[in-house]
Amino acid sequence: MTQMNWHTLLSAERLCNTKPAGPDAGRTDAGRTDFHKDHDRIVFSSAFRRLGRKTQVHPLTENDHVHTRLTHSIEVASVGRSLGMMVGQLIHDRLPAHIAPHDIGAIVQAACLAHDIGNPPYGHAGEYAIRDWFCQTDKAYLLEPLSALEQLDLQTFEGNAHGFRVITQLENHRFNGGLRLTYATLGAMLKYPWTVEHTGQKQKFSCYQAEAPLLEDVATRLGLPQLAPRRWARHPLSYLMEAADDICYALLDLEDGIEIGVLKYEQVEPILISLIGDSTELRDELAESPTTRRRISLLRGQAIQRMVNAVAQAFVANHDALLAGEMEHDILRACPAHITDSLNTAKQLARTDIFNTRQKVEVEVGAYTTLDMLLEPFFNAVYQLKTSGTLSFRARRTLDLMEHNVPGRDWSLYHAYMRVLDFIGGMTDNYASYLARQVGGLGQ
């Protein structure tokens, strides 16, 4: 397998940009490299802003301390920046001369900011609802004209793949590079750099058929080894993005669980102390903290720091395997046993005591009804648009609701369907619920 190299992996060239970047790209702006500009382009995008009204784990509540997709993404980016900078310092002698540790931090931070940008309303429940809708036998007529892989794109709707579409197609320069991020940031964001035919049992992939040429362009520019047709090895920095996400959701799900009253502090404290290491000094600090919220904040901060240190060391220890594309598992599994064991315990507690709370189950079941009420009229309207000489009044008015998302009559049926997914997948939880009531005749 071809060995990756950092000079190519850290390309500051931009997707679909007509102005090539030089070796010192972005340094004409004092202290602001092209990688920092990636961060800013993501932050100021409308898709990123809408994450503030999308479910993370717990349904949106009146409790302002519970995470949304937006606050989760910001926190993941913070951990990712620390990981990137630490790794950058540890491998500085292996990096190109013009790359500083803060550049690595900026790349990972930007990738982390964008990692959930393609999630539909209601999070993973929304993903399953969209997939299941397309798998219903009475929807077969909608998919029949599509190729087998195009059908799989719809039946395996994936937030990761939709995120790649959002940042490379939908934002800013529409269908001409999107946000036009650097190849380095795009590579670090690609957790699953392959298309739907390579999903395996986990049904994970980072690119639809529609964006396959863009994925190939990114992989080629970065020098990612090709493992099979339309499947490439991961960018080494994507492992840091993945680790930052795992660290945050594993720990912060528990914090949210305490906040909304489904977990007790006493259930969580031992897990965090096992990550940190017990000590008299830590116990004294906890005793001096007047509230549960402050105690959990103290433990969470120290636990994250310990895991950041462990991940950075694991990255360095596996540096050559990462550049050879031979890392077959996430980087956290290469950390000391007490780190992986404690993290697994945290995830198991969340699965048993948080994910099955009645309120969460009610909202997830309701997400199916909401998305059914949206998918039915919009996909049928687009199907009429593409297959019939005339549109019914309802179909015509339904398409009016899509505004600038309406596909052209000359588009293929597959690309027309993708515009419906762009429209519905981009909705916040609140707007999806509102529009479903309206089009379902329940809003009057």
The HSE-up count of residue 143 (CA atoms within 13 Å, CB side) is 19
Position 163 in a domain: yes
Residues 267 and 61: their CA atoms lie apart, in Å, by: 23
Amino acid sitting at position 323? L
Q: How far apart are CA 92 and CA 29, in angstroms?
A: 23
Question: Which two tokens mark 183?
Answer: 């190849």
- For the chain, 444 residues long, give each residue's pLDDT as a single digit of tens: 679 999 999 999 999 876 655 544 444 466 789 999 999 999 999 999 999 887 766 555 555 567 788 889 999 999 999 999 999 999 999 999 999 999 999 999 999 999 999 999 988 889 999 999 999 999 999 999 999 999 999 999 999 999 999 999 999 899 999 999 999 999 999 999 999 999 987 889 999 999 999 999 999 999 999 999 999 999 999 999 999 999 998 888 888 888 888 889 899 999 999 999 888 888 988 888 888 889 998 999 999 999 999 999 999 999 999 999 999 899 999 999 999 999 999 989 988 888 788 877 888 888 899 999 999 999 999 999 998 878 999 999 999 999 988 998 889 999 999 999 999 999 999 999 999 999 988 765
Question: Does 91 map to a domain?
Answer: yes
What per-residue confidence (pLDDT) applies to 62?
57
**270 in any annotated domain:** no
The burial of 324, by beta-carbon neighbours within 10 Å (0-12 exposed, 13-18 middle, 19 or more buried), is given as middle
The pLDDT assigned to 64 comes to: 59
Q: Does any domain span residue 99?
A: yes
Q: Among candidates 302, 438, 320, which has minimal Cα distance to 370?
A: 438
Helix, strand counts (H, E) of the chain? 21, 2
Question: Is 287 part of any domain?
Answer: no
CATH of the domain at 49: 1.10.3210.10
Residue 284 lies in a domain: no
pLDDT of residue 26: 43
Q: What is the pLDDT of residue 57?
A: 61
- Residue by residue, DSSP assigns 110-164 as HHHHHTTTT--TTHHHHHHHHHHHHHSGGGHHHHTTS-HHHHHHHHT--HHHHHH
Residues 10 and 107: beta-carbon distance below 8 Å: yes
Instruction: Tell me which residue range forms the domain holding 194.
Output: 6-121+159-232
- Nearest by Cα to 168 from 110, 218, 125, 97: 218
Residue 431 CB neighbour total at 10 angstroms: 14
67 within a domain of the structure (yes/no): yes
191, 161 Cβ separation under 8 angstroms: no
Residue 195 lies in a domain: yes
* Overall domain count for the chain: 1
